[in-house]
Structures are given as C-alpha cells and as structure tokens.
Structure 1
Amino acid sequence: MVPVEVLGVRQQQRDQEIVVLLFDTAAELAVPIVIGAREASAIAMAQAGVATPRPMTHDLLRDLLGAVGVDLDRVEIVALDGGIFFAELVLSTGVRLDSRASDAIALAVRTESPVLCSAEVVAAAGVEVVDLDQQKEVEKFRHFLDHVTAEDFTTPEGPSDLGDDTPP
C-alpha cells in the first residue's frame, strides 16, 4: 500500500465523467476514479470545509464512529476489477469494512484519515503527471478546490470553473 493525496474531484471535458483524483507523490502518478455527482459533491464540500445545516450521509457515518468511540484508521483502495475500484475502511478496532471507493474517500476527507492505494492499482490505473501542462492542470484544480462552494453543486450548470481552460 502506498499513501496517496486526495486532489479532489474534476469533470472530464471529453466525456463529461466526474472523477476523484488520487496522487501518488512518490511515483508521480495520478489515479482517476470515476464517481457520481453526489459523491463528487460530498468530497468537494468536505475538502472546502463547507458545513451543511443537517448532516449528510458521510457526516453521519463520521459522527456515528465518534459516538461509539471508534476511529477510521485509514482507507485502502485494495483492488481494481473490470474498471471498478474496491476499497476498505480500516477501523481502529482492526475491523475492515468493504466500501465503494468514493464513499471511503468522502469519509476519509471528513475524518482526516490517510488514504492508501494498492501499488498494483496505482500501476494499473495511474497516469503520469510529468509535463508542464498537466502540472498546471493540477494547480488549477487545487485553486478550484480552494474556492468551491456548496452552491456550485446545487445549480444545474455545476461548478462554474470546473473544466475552465483559463489559468486561475
């Protein structure tokens, strides 16, 4: 298992898919995982520190773990099979729970828990981030994450600067 940074969510321009990007800094590989709009919203809102008036599902899971005195030790992306990423929640009790990768990442962001990824998954799905254009894209994305709001995900158009080709 290798530690990865959750860069955030992004809508791909070519096919309109939404992905969460995990970045293996040691290998300089980005692992894109296709996710749904709700999961994208949950991850982006947590990364932006947006609080909702009522708890969302991932907030409820975080609060439930806290109420029973259990921590989320880490999230592990353990396998990739047929284009589907498999994850496990590893609790402080040693219990491992099967999870969708998007839900696991949304919970990890809320609990500030590390995300690890199988080296085999990084090797199979990782995309090199080496040229200047790609690095600029990562920086644009980080800028977007710093400025995203909950309202960006409640309008039909979605986030205003997702997929924008102009520099921040």
Structure 2
Amino acid sequence: MRLLGVRVRLNAPEHEVLVILDEDAGERSLPIVIGPHEAVAIATVQAGMPMPRPGTHDLLVACVDAAGSGIRQVEITEVRGGTFIAEVVLQNGTRVDSRASDAIAVALRAKVDVWCAEDVLDDAAVVLDVDEDDREHVHLAGTLADDEADERVSEFREFLERVEPEDFSDRDESGS
C-alpha cells in the first residue's frame, strides 16, 4: 500500500481525520479514521518535517533497533467492529498488535512497507473518484521537487501553528 496522505473530512459531523492508503497495483483506496495526534505523527513524516525531539513512534523504532531487531513491515489484518486492526512485524517474525494509525506511523519512520489483507480491502476499500491527472499528482507526492516539497512543508507548518484541539472536538452543531 502507498500512503496518499492525511485528510480532514470537513463535511462529516465531527470533522473526521482520515489516513488514506492506496493499492500498489489497483484502483482501490483504504480510508481509515484516525485521531488528530496520529494524523500529525503521520503527516509530519510524510511532509519531511524534522522533529526537535523523538516522538513515541520514533522511540518505538529506536527501542526495537536497540534491542537488536528491526521492523520488517506492518500489516493491516482485519476490520473488527469498524476498527482497523494491524500488526507490526519484527525481523524475527514476532507480531505485535497495534492500532492501524500507530502501525502506519511506525512504518513511515522505519521505512518499511504497509501491507493490507485482501479481505480488508474487499470489505473497506473504496475507489476514489479522481481523474488520471489527479491520481498521478497524488502518487507523485512522495517524489516532489525540492521547491514544491519545501512549499508543502511550509504550508503544513502553518496549519500546525493554526490548528487548535477544539478543531477536533466532539461538539454537536450548536457548538456546545
């Protein structure tokens, strides 16, 4: 799977935050609702933003490496009650239960593949309604020219400076 990005769905009742994965060979995409903290953890790595101190996902990867193992890949294994279940697969074959959003954040930091079970894709994947130019643009997002990458990092930093926790709160439409 390829990471298309993190998006906020503004027309949803609670402004859902989604991470969207795309099939390597196919047209299906897998949208997964995630929390705002996980969204920032994923988006900062995707945008190439260095963090001043290691975050939790960085710490996990560093601990696994320091213990003499490594991370082979992450796998999204099932959907249970609307929740995506994932596993972090270590070099020695050990599988560690994980939330899908945390597994994706770890995979980006460890620079390993994200796999998804076929039955999960059959149950939860969608075909995005984009034309080929849009799809090509999205797929090339990981190979941006330096100027365009710098611009996107700058835009993301501005977003992080403006965003407030209340932007992700569970309020009803009356604002209470």
What band does the TM-score fall into relative to the shorter chain?
0.7 to 0.9
Residue by residue over 1:9-55, the C-alpha shift from the partner in whole angstroms, topping out at 9 and shown as x without a partner, is 11113111110001013221000000000000000101122111111
SS at match of 2:92: coil
Report the CA distance between 1:136 and its aligned residue. Answer: 2.3
- Decide which structure has the larger Cα Rg and report it: 2
What is aligned with 1:8?
5
Give the TM-score normalised by structure 2. 0.78
CA distance in 2: counterparts of 1:140 and 1:116, whole angstroms: 19
List alignment gaps of at least 5 residues for structure 1.
Answer: 159-168
The aligned runs of 1:86-165 (5 Å cut-off) are 86-129=85-128, 131-132=130-131, 136=134, 139=137, 142=141, 146=149, 147-148=152-153, 149-156=156-163
% identical aligned pairs: 41
Q: For the residues of structure 2 that align with 1:23 and 1:81, how far apart are their CA atoms?
A: 20
CA contact (8 A) 1:88 1:96 kept: yes
Q: Which has the higher contact order (CA 8 A, sep 6+)?
A: 1
Structure number with higher helix proportion? 2
Q: Secondary structure at the match of 1:20?
A: strand
Letter of the aligned partner of 2:61 in structure 1? R
Aligned twin of 1:37: 36
Shift of the 37–154 alpha-carbon distance from structure 1 to 2, 3 Å rule, reads: farther
Match of 1:84 in 2: 83
**Structure 1 residue 57 and structure 2 residue 56: aligned?**
yes
Q: Distance in 2 between matches of 1:140 and 1:5?
A: 10
Q: Which runs of 5+ in 2 are unaligned?
A: 166-176
CA-CA distance at 1:151 after TM superposition: 4.7
Moved more, 39-48 or 139-148: 139-148
| SS of alignment partner, residue 9 of structure 1 | strand
Count of residues paired in the alignment: 154
Question: C-alpha offsets along residues 89-144 of structure 1, whole Å, 9 cap, x if unaligned?
Answer: 00001110000000000000011110000000111111113542x86277369499
Provide the secondary structure at the position in 2 that maps to 1:94: coil
Secondary structure at 1:44 match in 2: helix
Contact 1:129 1:135 in 2 (8 A): no
1:26 match: 25
Normalised TM-score (structure 1): 0.82
Give the 3-state SS of the residue equivalent to 1:14 in structure 2. Answer: coil
